[in-house]
Structure 1
Amino acid sequence: MSPRPYKSTTRRAAADQTRARIIAAGRELLAADDDVLVFSLDAVAKRAGVVRMTVYYQFASKAGLLEALFDDFAAHGGIAKMVPLAFEAAGDAGAALDAFVTAFAAFYDSDRLGIRRVNALAMLDAEVGRALAARTVRRRNAAEVLLARIAAADPHALALAQPAAVELLDALTRFDLFDGLAGEERRIADVAPVVQRVVRASLLNPARSAGEPRA
């Protein structure tokens, strides 16, 4: 006799709640004000109030947990909704670049401390470093798509060949650049217009770069 549907639904709901609690614990651990940050399955399990095997059952590995955490960062930061707005504006190169910068500024602002900790931890923990590198490739890929669309709409819009333009846009939208410009007194969104001006000046053909950056 097969299990009753309501029992399966209840178990699935309980598993989803446990998964959400573990992800929340991972984010809390990243935001914890500790001198030495240790990010491990054991540390996350302890903070979530579950045993290590529960974390392993949900995510299979530390890499799996990191992937889920990065997905959670992305969902809360709204990056998947904002980057397409830049693509849609590709007919206006300046507006498209402004929207791209705004998307990443808003994403970084959504959990600045957590993202800062992940970047710092990536320097110390090779597994975190690999997971983060795999995610940051997505920013480069998005930059490549955006610039290809801009060039398709206006072949003379960009001042640089596309490979160089992709490298530069990727570099100018890194978290550490925004974080360093903002310092401790300002939000990242406050410096987005500065980055927009630098991006426009660096990438746009002067004959096509009229217009003020849009925050």
Structure 2
Amino acid sequence: MSPRPYNMGRRRELVDETRARILAATRDLLVAKGMVAIDAIARQADVSRATVYYQFGTKIGLLEALCDELAEGGGMRRIAEAFGQPDARRSLHMFVEVIADFWAVDRECTRRLRGLAALDPDVGEVIAGRDARRRAAATAIATRLDAGPLFAPTLYTLTSFEVFDSMAADRPIREATTAIRALLDAALAIPPSPSTLNC
């Protein structure tokens, strides 16, 4: 009997372990030193620079994988459930809850990533792409609510990490959810005036 199936399974396991070690090193260096440098990450993960590139292709690929890991840990897969709610207001509320859980999963790492986005073009590209998805989701929810032209940017702004992080302060970030939902409900209740739309 050929040992090949076992060997392939073990190889896959080693690849997964290496990948996890590189992602952990990326996260740790980002939080501790505020940097995403491939050489430093390779040293921390005890792999070669070539292994990092083999696993992730590019620095942007590594950053995307780190963000995907945060999204998985934060339950972003539930976003489809939020959009699937038959009631548009319930969809809005659940969207805010899902975003809050995502921002809560590793605040220090997210804070570092978003701060570094202004200084590192690769980080900036990844964060801009993620923000564009949230902006598109906010627009879809606003359209479903028939909420007017200012609601989508309001929803996008109020579901930003910076707003959640600031409102929660040193408390669990999920505590900001109720206040943000209340602000959004209030925004829905106030029709925009013509003068506001023209400014």
TM-score, structure 2 normalization: 0.87
For 1:138, the equivalent position in structure 2 comes to 133
Higher relative contact order (CA 8 A, sep 6+): 1
- Report how far residue 8 of structure 1 moved: 2.4
Q: Within 2, Cα distance between the matches of 1:86 and 1:9?
A: 36
> In 2, are the aligned partners of 1:108 and 1:115 still within 8 Å (CA)?
yes
For 2:53, the equivalent position in structure 1 comes to 56
> In 2, are the aligned partners of 1:91 and 1:150 still within 8 Å (CA)?
no
The answer to whether structure 1 residue 180 and structure 2 residue 177 are counterparts is: no
For 1:19, the equivalent position in structure 2 comes to 19
- Report how far residue 22 of structure 1 moved: 0.8
1:56-79 alpha-carbon deviations (Å, 9 max, x no partner) = 111111011001111001000001
- Report how far residue 201 of structure 1 moved: 0.9
- Report how far residue 144 of structure 1 moved: 2.2
- Report how far residue 52 of structure 1 moved: 1.0
Q: Within 1, Cα distance between the matches of 2:4 and 2:80?
A: 43
Q: Secondary structure at the match of 2:117?
A: helix
For 1:193, the equivalent position in structure 2 comes to 178
The answer to whether structure 1 residue 73 and structure 2 residue 70 are counterparts is: yes
Q: Within 2, Cα distance between the matches of 1:90 and 1:140?
A: 21
Q: Within 2, Cα distance between the matches of 1:6 and 1:201?
A: 59
- Report how far residue 131 of structure 1 moved: 1.1
The answer to whether structure 1 residue 171 and structure 2 residue 157 are counterparts is: yes
- Report how far residue 193 of structure 1 moved: 0.9
- Report how far residue 18 of structure 1 moved: 0.7
2:116 aligned partner, one-letter code = L
2:122 aligned partner, one-letter code = E
> Which range is displaced more, 189-198 or 7-16?
7-16
> In 2, are the aligned partners of 1:106 and 1:189 still within 8 Å (CA)?
yes
Structure 2 gap ranges (5+): 192-199
> In 1, are the aligned partners of 2:88 and 2:141 still within 8 Å (CA)?
no
TM-score, structure 1 normalization: 0.81
Q: How does 1:1-215 map to 2 (within 5 A)?
A: 4-32=4-32, 34=33, 37-81=34-78, 83-93=79-89, 95-151=90-146, 158=147, 160-161=148-149, 164-183=150-169, 185-204=170-189
User: Identity rate of aligned residues, in percent?
Assistant: 42
2:126 aligned partner, one-letter code = A
